[in-house]
Amino acid sequence: MIFTSIYSNDDQKAYPGVIRKMIEYLKVNDFVNMDPGVYELQGKDLYVQVFDAETGSVEEKKPESHKEYLDIQFLASGEEKLGFTPYSEKYEVDEYIEERDLIFYKSVENEGFIHAVPGCISVFFPCDIHRPAVAVKAPMTVRKVVIKVRTTLI
């Protein structure tokens, strides 16, 4: 997992090239005013989802992971908490939606949380279970951008 910001001056040379390229993409686009939808950058290997989401309680938001993609999650507006924990084979799958490469888990342990505000970037690899859109104080609508990167591009 990587947690950074488009405003960070951290040295990002250690990041894989496609992640550095997508951080630059996040810096130069106005996602708050962009129409929600899916924008293909390299077909189904690299694409962007722009959408509005409702944050909710930890109990309402299921932990998830992916097999074929990593997520670069960017918060354009609002605030949210994102849960994260390493994958473990002991976690019981609640639902697997193959066509969306989406695995939901019944529960996880040792979950940490990140408080994301506009400009925050979280990169979740297939080995990272994450729980997006958890409310910070009260539910709210947030504008999210999720860049899906097929693992073969890393």
- At residue 8, the pLDDT reads 83
Query: DSSP string spanning 92-141?
Result: PEEEEEGGGTEEEES--SS-EEEEE-TTEEEEE-TTEEEEEEE-SSS--E
- At residue 10, the pLDDT reads 74
Residue 11 has pLDDT above 90, yes or no: no
The mean pLDDT of 117-139, rounded to a whole number, is: 98
Q: Please write the tens of the pLDDT for every residue from 74-96.
A: 999 999 999 999 999 999 999 99
How far apart, in whole angstroms, are the C-alpha atoms of residue 103 and residue 109? Answer: 16
Q: Taking the domains of the chain in order of start, what are their residue ranges?
A: 2-153
Domain 2-153: state its class.
mainly beta
- At residue 12, the pLDDT reads 81
Residue 145 has pLDDT above 90, yes or no: yes
- At residue 123, the pLDDT reads 97
Q: Please write the tens of the pLDDT for every residue from 100-111.
A: 999 999 999 999
